[in-house]
Each structure stands twice: as C-alpha cells, then as structure tokens.
Amino acid sequence: MKEGILIALGEIFLKSPGVQRIFRKKLQNNLSFFLKKEKVDFKIFSQRERIFVETKEQNKARKIIKNVFGTSWFAKGFFFERGTLREVSNFVTQNYQTWIKENESFAIRLKKGSEIKESSQKIIEEIAKNIKRKVNLEKPKREIFVEARKEGFYLYFKKEKGVGGLPVGTGGKVLTLISGGIDSPVASYLMAKRGAENVWLHFHSFPLVSQKSIEKIKKLAEIFLKFQPHLKVYLFPFSKIQMEIRVKSKPKYRVLLYRRAMMKIAENLAKKENCYALVTGESLGQVSSQTLPNLQIIEKAVSIPILRPLIGMDKLEIINLAKKIETYQISILPQEDCCTLFTPKHASAKGNLKEIEKIEKNLNLKKIILKSRREIEILNY
C-alpha cells in the first residue's frame, strides 16, 4: 500500500492515444519539476487515466499540485498497486474509525475499469462489510471513493478541484507583452493554462522614469514560476523610441504608434525565440487604444498572430483572477507606465491607418530600435 495523492487528468483525454501519451508525460515531468523544486520526497506512478504521487508530505505536495495545469482534480489517498480486494477491505476495516466518527454516516463511491471482473455490488459489499457506521447514499457525512483498475485499487476521500487546462509546454511558445499592470500577468496565466510556454517582454522607459516597473516584473516572474517551470524575460529600453515618436507625431496618435512599435519589436524577438504568437492583456474597449478600430491598426503592424485572452472580460473579472493567482497586490504597486509617458489626455479612439503609416515613414525607428536592442537585459528564471 502506498500513501500519497491521486491526480485525475483533465481534458488530455480528448486527444488521440498518441497525443495523450505525450501530454501525460509532459504533465508528469512538470509535476516532478515543481515537487523537486520544493524538495518534496516523492515517487510518481503514471497510468492511463491517473497519476499517483507517493509521498508522506501530502500537505506540502497538494499546495504544489493545485497550481499544475492539466489536473482535473486531486485527492489524498492510497494506492494498492496490484492489490487484491481483500487487501483493500482489510485496510478499510482497520482504519475506518479514523475517517468516520461514530455518529457520522458514510457511502462508498465506486468506479471500476472494464477489465475488472468482479461486480460493483460485490466490491462495495466486501469493502463495507465491517464498517460499523450508518450508510447514507443520498447525503452521507463521509464518502469513501474506490477505483478498481488494472494496475490496482485507489482509495481516497475528499476531492479538490485542480486548475484544469493542458500541461505547460504542450501548446508551443508565445511571447507575452508584460506591462506590470493587472491585465498582462492574467493573460499570461491563461495562455499557460492552455499549455503555452510564455516568454515575457517588458518595455520600460528608464532612465526617463524610475525602475519601479522593472522591479515589479521581477516580483511577478517569481510568482509566475508556480505555474511554469522556467521563464525568460526580456527588458527592452523604450525611452528613445518614445522620444522620437513624441517629437514627430500628433499627440492623439502617440499610444497607437507606441503600440505598433512594440509589436514590431515583439515580432522580431518572437521569431528568435520560436514563438508562434504574441500575447497581450488587452480587453475590448477598456481604453482608447483597445477599441476595435485601434486594435486593427495595431495588429496590421505585424504578420504574426496576436492573442488576447482577456478580450471579452470586464475589469472586475480580471481583478478577481489576478487576486486568485496572487499577482494583484504586486500589479497595483505604483509605477510609471511607458505607454502613459508623453500621452495626451484625449487619445484617439479611432485612428487613421494611412495617416499613422505616413507618420511612421518620417520616424527614424529602425536605427533607434537596432541601437536599443543592444541594451536589452535578459533574465532567466
């Protein structure tokens, strides 16, 4: 009998058998990485539909597992590898008094594989026969879950909801524009939940402003490492580009010109990092640069796809998710945002693409971007 945590896989089983094996292996590797990182003593048993983490440090392990994408639910329990029904029944007889108090009712919930010959009724009767407690199948105080499978029996109790999604690393790489505000870390989290490995790109305006945004990015990166095993962060100096745009453009178009320049830089770095798409924290209509006409103008600056996982969410939804993933308190720390530097009070909500492209022809951005790229700082976590 092995003690530990049973993990049920998420939507991995929507995939073909070959892809399932790849995804399950990636999930197993991610679990191993995070458990080793926190110095948990463990051993993993991986079967077709379940993963069992054998460990005595169950409370420590469950705090790690709850943040690993690809898990539907998990529960503390026991694994009887190649065990017999009698072995499980004897174990329950010896231990049920610690699980079910004398005045509490119980129910056994059974799930068995098609390869198990014994009937469900026989299995339940064998396990329950020596439990001296009242049975209540409708609303029991305690539930004992039993799974009878080819590899053995699983016995567990309260299920905890996993984060779902797909294992990080199964969906390719994306380059996420991370501002340090509330939205972009949440967008990055949602992409990781879909299996995409994030590379971060942060534009800062130091020395025109302080390094507060850079310090916030470093703190956010430490939090994000709960969800993704490794993280590469590019810190790109944007002040010289902003100065050039400020001098040679109409105030109402500055934010759009900033954003288009950012996308062009991001596209170049994405190709270098073998990323398939860019990711932003934009939400439709949240600010003037995020109206449909302006999003279209920004998007036309590049040929690579731009993914916006927050596009249909309102601010409160985004804030609630930021609090859940514990980035909110860092994101609300004061900083000087590079996009608000030299920005007029009333930016255009509907830019003119031809006019903006005409302005860009008079900007000396290629030379400035090339020079700024030599000053990029790269952080590897």
pLDDT tens by residue, 324-341: 999 999 999 876 655 555
Phi and psi, residue 205, nearest 5°: -115, 20
Q: Above pLDDT 90, what percent of the chain?
A: 78
CA dist 233 and 206 (Å) reads 17
What is the CATH number assigned to the segment(s) 173-380? 3.40.50.620
**For the chain, where are the E strands, in sequence order?**
2-9, 43-46, 50-54, 71-81, 105-112, 134-135, 142-149, 152-156, 160-164, 173-177, 197-204, 232-237, 277-279, 306-307, 377-380
**CA 187 to chain CA mean position, Å:** 9
* Lateral strand order in the sheet of 197-204: 306-307, 277-279, 173-177, 197-204, 232-237, 377-380
Task: Kindly tell me if the per-residue pLDDT of 124 is higher than 60.
Answer: yes
Output the pLDDT for position 65: 97
5-57 confidence digits (pLDDT tens): 999 998 887 888 888 899 999 999 999 999 999 999 999 999 878 999 999 99
Is the link from the previous residue into 207 a cis peptide, with omega within 30 of 0?
yes
Residue 221's nearest CA partner among 379, 333, 373 is: 379
Number of C-beta neighbours around residue 137 at 10 A: 11
Output the pLDDT for position 180: 87
Domain ranges of the chain: 2-164, 173-380
> Does residue 350 or residue 216 have the better pLDDT?
216
166-203 confidence digits (pLDDT tens): 999 999 999 999 998 999 999 999 999 999 999 999 99
Output the pLDDT for position 339: 55
Identify whether the C-beta of residue 235 lies closer than 8 Å to the C-beta of residue 213. no
Task: Kindly tell me if the per-residue pLDDT of 208 is higher than 80.
Answer: no
Task: Kindly tell me if the per-residue pLDDT of 282 is higher than 70.
Answer: yes
DSSP state at residue 78: E
Query: Please, which pLDDT band fits residue 210 given cuts at 50, 70 and 90?
Result: confident
Query: Please, which pLDDT band fits residue 288 given cuts at 50, 70 and 90?
Result: confident
CA dist 296 and 298 (Å) reads 5
The pair of three-digit structure tokens given for residue 326, joined into one six-digit string: 């514990």
Output the pLDDT for position 336: 64
Task: Kindly tell me if the per-residue pLDDT of 350 is higher than 90.
Answer: no
Task: Kindly tell me if the per-residue pLDDT of 346 is higher than 80.
Answer: no
CA dist 49 and 181 (Å) reads 39
Q: What number is the average pLDDT over the span 207-211?
A: 74
Identify whether the C-beta of residue 368 lies closer than 8 Å to the C-beta of residue 241. yes
Task: Kindly tell me if the per-residue pLDDT of 251 is higher than 90.
Answer: no
DSSP state at residue 364: -
pTM comes to 0.91
> Does residue 338 or residue 313 have the better pLDDT?
313
**Worst-scoring range by mean pLDDT, 171-185, 199-213, 225-239, 296-310?**
199-213
Query: Please, which pLDDT band fits residue 297 given cuts at 50, 70 and 90?
Result: very high
What is the CATH number assigned to the segment(s) 2-164? 3.30.2130.30
DSSP state at residue 198: E
87-104 confidence digits (pLDDT tens): 999 999 999 999 999 999
3-class SS of residue 238: coil
The pair of three-digit structure tokens given for residue 208, joined into one six-digit string: 């025109």
Q: Give the CA radius of gyration of the chain.
A: 26
- What sign results for the dihedral spanned by CA atoms 23, 28, 29, 30? positive
Output the pLDDT for position 57: 96
The pair of three-digit structure tokens given for residue 252, joined into one six-digit string: 């109402």
The pair of three-digit structure tokens given for residue 80, joined into one six-digit string: 């009887």
Identify whether the C-beta of residue 255 lies closer than 8 Å to the C-beta of residue 339. yes
Task: Kindly tell me if the per-residue pLDDT of 304 is higher than 90.
Answer: yes
Burial label for 321, CB within 10 Å (0-12, 13-18, 19+), is buried
